[in-house]
Each structure stands twice: as C-alpha cells, then as structure tokens.
A and B are shown apart, each in its own frame.
Chain A
Amino acid sequence: MTALLEANNLTKTYGNDTVAVDHLTISIGRGRIIGLLGPNGSGKSTFIKLINGLLTPTEGTILINGAAPGVESKKRIAYLPERTYLQSNMKVNQLIDFFGDFYEDFQKDKAYAMLQSMDIKSNTRLRTLSKGTKEKVQLILVMSRNADLYILDEPIAGVDPAARDFILKTIISNYNENATVLLSTHLISDIENILDDVIFIQDGKIKTQTTVENIREDYGKSVDAYFREVFAC
C-alpha cells in the first residue's frame, strides 16, 4: 500500500541563503492524527504549503496518493490555512454552496449541522463575524469534507481556551477515520491528547518522527515536556 504522503529530498530556499525546508524526506501513512511540531520559523508552514502546491519546491519531490500536487491531490486534501482565506463579502451559506460546487466530497448537511451546533447563522456575511467565529466557519468548511488528508495549520492559535476545546472536539469527531490529520501547532499541551504521532521539525529538517506512545514509554514524558527538552534554547 502506497503512503498517503511522501516527500523526497524536499527543499525550499528563499533567495540565496534562507533555507526554509532542507532536504526533507518523510513518509506519512493513513488513519493517523499527526502533530507537526516545531518552534516558530522551523519550516512547518512552508512544508504544508509545499504539500498544497502553494509553493514551488527548489529541489526534491512530494507525492500525495502517488501523484504530485495538482488537481487530483486537491480533491483529496482538505486544507485549513493559518489565515482567513474566504471572501469576506460572502454569506456563510454562499460559502457552503461554493465548497459544495467545487469539492465532490463536501457534505452540506454536515456543514449546516455543525453551524447549528456552534450557533452560527448561515445567512450572515463573513465580514460581520468575529475573528474566532470566522475561524470556526473555516474549520467547519474544511471538516465537512470527506478527504483523505486534512491539513490544519495552527487551527487553535488566536482563539480562547473554550473555543480551542470546541475546535479540537470538532476535528476528532468529524474526520474520516481512514484519513490522516496533519496538525501544525506550537500549543502542544492543548492537542497532545488527540495525537497518534508527532513530527518534530527544526531548521527545515525532520528531527524526530515517532508515536506519542513511544515518547511516553521511552522518555517517560509528555509530548509537551519532551518538546521543551528537545527545543530548549
């Protein structure tokens, strides 16, 4: 069975001297919730953008379901970026129609059910919503897809702790169980209970790729404590 995601010697440089992702080789399987963890500027977001075809690699290859980033991979990846990427003049129900029109795996019923559970009115324009509610709408749109790979870049940054719990609950209760969730964050303590695996990334290189269970058994520490030890300044 082919890996869901395979990167081989993947490199991304900016200008002549800034290496964001440095000859990164990695393989990610199916049915896992994976934390992509690293300090600020470690290359997490760059790696995610490379997977989504938002950046052009300087060197190396990346394959999703055996294919390079393109139309087919985008049908299978549900991506939540770290910024608001929706047109603010659109209403929430228009956004749902938009996602329904473009993504075959989008489930409108699920989206409306989640909106109702979060008490978000579907006929509201995005620009009138608070930052936290906009992030929830984006998350709903992404998690209403039946994708193979969910890539969530900093999904809990910038929201209050209650909203964080709600977002994490939404993620674990709505993803397709044969799919993989790749979750990038530096708020490790908030997410470590839902993780199966972790990937530590530093200076664009993979420092560790292991299971949460291994960290607890081998080092006798939580992921958060182990992360602090590995990335101690």
Chain B
Amino acid sequence: MLIRSMKYYWQSTYKIILLMNLYLLLTTGIGVATLAAGVWNTHSEGITTLGAILFILYVISIVFVSNLVVIYIAVHFYRNMYSDEAYLTHTLPVSKHHLLLSQTIIGTIHCFLTSVIMLACIFGLIYFLFTCLNSQAKEALQLTYDPGMAADLYTAFANGAFFKGLLIVFYFLLSSAHSILLAFAAVAMGQLFTRHRIIGSIICYIGLYTIIQIATSLVVIPFMGLSLFGNVSMVQLINCGLLVETLFALACCVIFYLITYYLLSRKLNLD
C-alpha cells in the first residue's frame, strides 16, 4: 500500500512542482543567454547596475520558488489529511504510517530535486557570469579570493571524499525531509485549535521554526567558539560540523514525524 500511496501522491503533485522547476531553468536559461550574448559585458554603469539588480532579483525569486515547493507540499498535505479529501484518505485501507510516510518520501524527493536544480542554476549562472566578465571586473573579484581558505576546504573534502560526498547528499536529503516534516507537524498541530485551524498551523510553524533556530544556534555556538579560541583546524571543524548537523537534522526529522503520526492516529477530528 505504501508504493500505491506514493504513486498517487506523486501523480497529484508532480505537475505543479515541475512547473516551478521549469521556472528555475527558464530564468537561468535567459540569464545565461544574455550573458553569452554579451548584453552585460559593457562599461556602462547603468547597464551594470541593472544587471546586478536583476541578478539579485533572480536569486530572490529562485529561493522563493524553492520555499514555494515546501508550501505547496504542506497545503497538499492539509487538503489530503484534513479537508474534504481527507474523508477518502482516512477511509482507505492504508495505515497512518504508510499515509504519512508516502507523503514524506514524495515531498522530500520534490524538495531535494528542487534544491539540487536551484543550486545547479545558481552555480551555473555564476560560472557563466565569471566567464563572461570583462577583465576589470575579474581583477576586482580576484581581490576577494583567499587561496589559504580554498586549500583548507579542498583538504577537508579530499580526505575521505567518497564518504563525505555521501554524507553531504544524505545531509541535503535530511534537510529536505526536515523542511517537509516541520511543515507537516505544524499543519497537524494546527488542527488541535478549535477554530481558525489554518492560522493555528501558521502559528505552530513559526513557533517550531523559532525553536529549531534556537536549537541550531546552541549546536553551532560551541563550534564557533572552537574555531575562534580553540586549537582546532578548519578541516576538523568542517568534518565534525557536518556530522553534527546531519545528526541534528535526523533527530528533528524523527521528532516531527512522531508528532505528526501521533496527532494523525490519536487526535484526528475531521470537521
């Protein structure tokens, strides 16, 4: 039943997500085309300023789209689990674990793929930007380049690259699942309100998000202290930080999943 639930959930969501990703690719494509055509390769201050503004707007819009994916999945979860459609969802012979797991897996895949496409778009555009910049601009950017830090980063990654590569992919997957499960938990907690349940869900989301930010800070502060005052190398910090962040994201995923599952199975009350 898990596979069937995933199949139908995928079918009912992929079109809108695909449109969002097409937007990312299209705007990046337009950016690359204008760079390749040399539209921005000019000494005119007005055009350079316009280019910078458009680039900032581009970054903002694609970050917005990646957040929109999470919002869309959360709204879909609400409709599926708590609105009219929930009368069908909760009368299917499917366990609550399978219902929740199917939405979590598909939501995570959507979110992860969108993040990958978003990063590919940003780095792709930056790469083209560098190749198309005039020499003056390249010289200006060279001043911000720190060879020592780049070497440290390379060493941090090169040592056990395969394991670290897997860990990074796993971390990104967990981050995607974390975003999705945070939204699901907020939607489920909002249903405990007797009235204005959607507003309740938004309040719960803000509350949970704030708690997570505080908890993340508490996790990060010791590392910042070590980097400033401790005798710890950059390589060790990066390696340890990645592992701790991954474990923290995993813990958050488990907690949010259990909260949502408990509320779905023990506190379900459809209007």
Which residues of A does B touch, CB under 8 Å? Answer: 14-15, 49, 52-56, 70-72, 74-75, 77, 79, 81, 83-87, 89, 98, 101-103
Contacts and interface: CB of A to CB of B under 8 A. Distances in A.
Given A83-B87, A85-B88, A98-B8, A103 B93 contact: yes
30 contacts: A15-B194, A52-B90, A52-B91, A53-B90, A54-B90, A54-B269, A56-B266, A56-B267, A56-B268, A56-B269, A71-B93, A71-B94, A72-B93, A74-B91, A74-B92, A74-B94, A75-B93, A77-B91, A79-B87, A79-B91, A85-B85, A85-B86, A85-B87, A86-B85, A87-B12, A89-B12, A102-B1, A102-B4, A102-B92, A102-B94
Nearest to A49: B270
Contacts of A14: 194
| A-B interface, 4 closest residue pairs, ranked by CB to CB distance from nearest | A85-B87, A74-B93, A75-B93, A81-B87
Contacts of A70: 95
B152 interface: no
Given A71-B93, A102-B4, A103-B93, A54 B88 contact: no
Nearest to B95: A71
Given A53-B90, A98-B8, A85 B84 contact: yes
Interface of B: 1, 4, 8, 12, 84-88, 90-95, 194, 266-270
A81 B85 CA distance: 11
A79 B92 CA distance: 10
Nearest to B266: A56
A54 B87 contact: yes
Contacts of A101: 4, 8
A85 B93 CA distance: 16
Given A71-B93, A86-B85, 18 more contacts: A14-B194, A15-B194, A53-B91, A53-B268, A54-B90, A54-B91, A55-B268, A55-B270, A56-B268, A72-B93, A75-B93, A81-B87, A83-B87, A84-B84, A85-B87, A89-B12, A101-B4, A103-B93
Q: Is the interface of B mostly helix, strand, loop or mixed?
A: loop
B21 to A, nearest CB: 20
A74 B96 CA distance: 12
Contacts of B93: 71-72, 74-75, 102-103
Nearest to A103: B93
Nearest to B5: A102
Contacts of A81: 87
Contacts of B269: 54-56
Contacts of B92: 74, 102-103
Contacts of B86: 54, 85
B75 to A, nearest CB: 14
Contacts of B267: 56
A54 B194 contact: no
A23 to B, nearest CB: 19
A46 to B, nearest CB: 10
A75 B267 CA distance: 22
A46 B12 CA distance: 30
A70 B1 CA distance: 14
Nearest to B89: A85
A226 B93 CA distance: 39
A3 B92 CA distance: 23
Nearest to B194: A15
B263 to A, nearest CB: 10
A53 B86 CA distance: 11
Contacts of B85: 85-87
Contacts of A98: 8
A89 B8 CA distance: 13
B89 to A, nearest CB: 9
A70 B8 CA distance: 21
